[in-house]
Structure 1
Amino acid sequence: MKNNIFESWQHSYIIKDYITNKNIEVGDFTFYSGYYHAKHFQDYCVRYLSPDRDDVDKLKIGKFCSIGSGAVFIMAGNQGHRYDWITTYPFYYSKINDNSKDGYKQAGDTIVGNDVWIGTEAVIMPGVKINDGAVIGTRAVVTKDVESYTIVGGNPAKPIKKRFSDDEIKMLLEMKWWDWPIEEIREFIPLLCSENIKALYKKFLNKKI
């Protein structure tokens, strides 16, 4: 693909190394694999987010997240469109009439937790919170908050299933492995790359990380 910043579909990069917009915060080791859309995460995936204003919602993404090519985060709240007014047309920004008022309303920060996997071309709407360990299906349109360790898909996105039992999710949220020192994470990788949550939790309690 000509002028593609990614070498192949197997190529990705750590997002925080390429962020210049002060209203985007991304944690360590979170990566973007954007070959099929050719552009940087900030340029293609984050829409309508001013880089120089202090009064806008922010995009906050945690650690160890995996974001597929062309996933989109819609920002800027309602972008000045008010569906509770007679017209949704943003006269304030069109300069048609100086007497028009600004219809902009913030939606709240868009927050993605840790260890979240967002599939290619998923759309995340303003003000949504995706909690730790969630999985967002390809081309899902996420309009509501997503619970921890829940898989969602569709338009609008709906829960498909939880990844683990409630007790196992409780253990995982207590451990918060993504906040451990990297040396500890390296030691635990064989268990992190397994289904044995109870063994991980037992070792975690013994280590008292």
Structure 2
Amino acid sequence: MSTINPPSAAKLSTTVIDHSVKIRESSIGEQCEILAHTYMEYSELGDFSYLGEYCHVADCSIGKFTAIANHVRLGAPNHPMGRPSQHRFTYCPEYYDSDLQRDAGFFAQRREQRVTIGHDVWIGHGVTVLPGVHVGNGAVLAAGAVVTKDVAPYAVVGGVPARAIKSRFPPDIVTRLQAIAWWHWPFETISARLSDFQDDDVVAFCERCETAHEC
């Protein structure tokens, strides 16, 4: 899934996955890190993104350069509230009677309600993101938030349920950063411009990038 070709193994480390991690039908990008006791299923993790300890990621697409803290739950599944019973015997009856078959349609619907996490997103400790939510590039999900609705690019949200706190930057800067899309640059370019990324003057960053036609 990666589009970045690192110059050499000597300059960039490989993807690191702790031996306790469990992965089911998922793809992992280049230069990623997945820490202990994390579980991924039916998901994608973009280049240079990392997952903390004790995370559970299901039915989720995660962009590049995204930082995810410990105890985060992405794609926490819902029970069937519209049925006479919400209990799992309605969709996993085989747990209780081996002659019965699970509800394949129910699980197909779960697969379709994917969470989408953009590029350069910061997800704080203990965040839960519910199925079908889209989180825009550059957003921040504050620690402990329960995210039930889409999050705009570069927005900071927090609380239960999560609500907008502020935007990291004015709308024009958000638009410019989205157009620059530095997360798609070759990492050699990012490395060469490290000092630009270390500068808090985001307006100057945009001007330099636009002048250099990196976007």
TM bin (shorter chain): 0.7 to 0.9
Equivalent in the alignment of 2:170: 165
**Which aligned pairs between 1:144-163 and structure 2 lie closer than 5 A?**
144-163=149-168
Equivalent in the alignment of 1:61: 62
Equivalent in the alignment of 2:33: 15
Q: Is the 8 A contact 2:127 2:145 kept in 1?
A: yes
In 2, the alpha carbon distance for the partners of 1:205 and 1:64 equals 21
Q: Report the AA paired with residue 24 of structure 1.
A: S
2:182 is the counterpart of 1:177: yes
In 1, the alpha carbon distance for the partners of 2:49 and 2:56 equals 15
In 2, the alpha carbon distance for the partners of 1:160 and 1:29 equals 27
Kindly state the Cα deviation for residue 26 of structure 1 after the two structures are TM-superposed.
0.9
Report the 3-state secondary structure (helix = DSSP H, G, I; strand = E; otherwise coil) of the residue aligned with 1:148: coil
In 2, the alpha carbon distance for the partners of 1:101 and 1:190 equals 55
Equivalent in the alignment of 1:93: 92
Equivalent in the alignment of 2:14: none
Identify unmatched segments of 5+ residues in structure 2: 1-17, 21-30
Equivalent in the alignment of 2:136: 131
Kindly state the Cα deviation for residue 21 of structure 1 after the two structures are TM-superposed.
5.8
Report the 3-state secondary structure (helix = DSSP H, G, I; strand = E; otherwise coil) of the residue aligned with 1:168: helix
In 1, the alpha carbon distance for the partners of 2:212 and 2:174 equals 20
Report the 3-state secondary structure (helix = DSSP H, G, I; strand = E; otherwise coil) of the residue aligned with 1:172: helix
2:31 is the counterpart of 1:31: no
In 2, the alpha carbon distance for the partners of 1:124 and 1:186 equals 32
Kindly state the Cα deviation for residue 101 of structure 1 after the two structures are TM-superposed.
8.3
Q: Report the AA paired with residue 170 of structure 1.
A: T
Q: Report the AA paired with residue 128 of structure 1.
A: V
Q: Is the 8 A contact 1:70 1:121 kept in 2?
A: yes
Equivalent in the alignment of 1:45: 55
Of stretches 95-104 and 136-145 in structure 1, the one that deviates more from structure 2 is 95-104
In 1, the alpha carbon distance for the partners of 2:134 and 2:63 equals 11
Q: Is the 8 A contact 1:16 1:25 kept in 2?
A: no
In 2, the alpha carbon distance for the partners of 1:99 and 1:17 equals 37
Equivalent in the alignment of 2:81: 83
Kindly state the Cα deviation for residue 170 of structure 1 after the two structures are TM-superposed.
0.6
Q: Is the 8 A contact 1:16 1:28 kept in 2?
A: no
Identity level (%): 31
Q: What CA deviation, in whole Å up to 9, does each residue of 1:60-114 have, x standing for no partner?
A: 1111111111111234x53xx3212232223241246878983723352211111
Q: Is the 8 A contact 2:75 2:114 kept in 1?
A: no
In 2, the alpha carbon distance for the partners of 1:22 and 1:68 equals 18
Q: Report the AA paired with residue 74 of structure 2.
A: F
Q: Is the 8 A contact 1:16 1:27 kept in 2?
A: no
In 1, the alpha carbon distance for the partners of 2:213 and 2:40 equals 37
2:207 is the counterpart of 1:206: no
Equivalent in the alignment of 1:196: 201
Identify unmatched segments of 5+ residues in structure 1: 7-12, 35-43, 50-57
**TM-score relative to the length of structure 1:** 0.73
Q: Report the AA paired with residue 71 of structure 2.
A: G
Report the 3-state secondary structure (helix = DSSP H, G, I; strand = E; otherwise coil) of the residue aligned with 1:185: helix
Quick one: structure 1 residues 131 and 29, their matched pair in 2 at CA, closer, same or farther if it must change by over 3 Å? same
